[in-house]
């Protein structure tokens, strides 16, 4: 099994690397800082530097992974931005930082994966239940929520594009594409008081990813596989 994890320096992305390596997958992982690349290599992954919010850095992905034949690609890179409680307008700098990482970053890297995936591969973006409009009952972190709602839209378009394939394409999707909510997880973003350990969240998501069927492409799923409202 060949796995790609984009945004693996820490938190959920790093835990995906650890768990897939433990099941003897060939793991390729990315991080922004050289010391994090070195640490991923020390774990046993192939690793290279990638900053999804940097146009030049992100554009280098395709040649790095051309024809890699990944069975699974996961984009975990993400930032929360300002911890707002109400309708505080974000600064332009905060807006750009969050949207460039969570939305533009995905729009940059996902199309570059088309030639790097094995037939019938799985592709996941780490979204958030906070991005769900249908389930929304609070308005904390409205910039983050808006970014994850936009990421969900991006994932849906990618699932449609990757389902079509080229002329003479097989009847299965090029990739089964899903947006995943990892739960509320004990990472730098989730905080120490979060409900789930990264180990548990990632174990759940691995099980969910392994059980995906082609009919599920374009879905928004909880870590345990339950369908979430957009």
Nearer to ligand NAP (CB atom), residue 201 or residue 217: 201
Find out whether 142 and 130 touch, Cβ atoms under 8 Å: no
Helix (H) or strand (E) holding 97: helix 92-99
Q: How far apart are CA 144 and CA 83, in angstroms?
A: 9
Nearer to ligand NAP (CB atom), residue 174 or residue 187: 187
Nearer to ligand NAP (CB atom), residue 12 or residue 209: 12
Nearer to ligand NAP (CB atom), residue 111 or residue 165: 111
Locate tokens 């003897």: which residue?
24
Find out whether 179 and 157 touch, Cβ atoms under 8 Å: no
Q: Which residues bind ligand NAP (CB under 6 A)?
A: 7, 9-13, 31-33, 50-53, 76-79, 101, 105, 126, 128, 181-182, 184-185, 187-190, 194
Nearer to ligand NAP (CB atom), residue 7 or residue 218: 7
Smallest distance from ligand NAP to CB 102, Å: 7
Smallest distance from ligand NAP to CB 100, Å: 7
Find out whether 18 and 35 touch, Cβ atoms under 8 Å: no
Cα–Cα separations (whole angstroms), residue 137 to 27, 157, 225: 38, 26, 22
Smallest distance from ligand NAP to CB 70, Å: 18
Strand 70-75 and strand 26-31: pairing?
A: unpaired
Smallest distance from ligand NAP to CB 12, Å: 4
Locate tokens 């990472």: which residue?
187
Smallest distance from ligand NAP to CB 167, Å: 34
């Amino acid at each position: 099994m060949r796995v790609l994890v984009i945004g693996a320096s820490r938190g959920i992305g790093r835990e995906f690397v650890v768990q897939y390596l433990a099941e003897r997958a060939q793991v390729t992982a990315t991080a922004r800082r050289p010391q994090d690349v070195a640490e991923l290599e020390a774990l046993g992954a192939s690793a290279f530097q990638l900053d999804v919010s940097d146009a030049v850095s992100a554009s280098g992905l395709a040649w790095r992974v051309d024809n890699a034949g990944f069975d699974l690609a996961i984009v975990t890179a993400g930032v929360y931005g300002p911890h707002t409680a109400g309708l505080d307008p974000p600064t332009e700098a905060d807006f750009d930082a969050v949207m460039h990482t969570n939305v533009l970053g995905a729009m940059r890297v996902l199309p570059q994966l088309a030639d790097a995936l094995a037939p019938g591969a799985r592709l996941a973006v780490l979204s958030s239940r906070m991005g769900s409009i249908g389930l929304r009952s609070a308005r904390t972190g409205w910039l983050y929520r808006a970014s994850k709602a936009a990421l969900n839209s991006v994932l849906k378009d990618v699932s449609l594009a990757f389902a079509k394939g080229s002329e003479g394409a097989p009847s299965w999707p090029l990739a089964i594409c899903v947006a995943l909510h990892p739960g509320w997880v004990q990472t730098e973003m989730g905080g120490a008081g979060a409900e789930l350990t990264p180990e548990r969240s990632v174990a759940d998501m691995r099980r969910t990813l392994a059980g995906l069927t082609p009919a599920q492409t374009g879905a928004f799923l909880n870590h345990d596989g339950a369908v979430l409202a957009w």
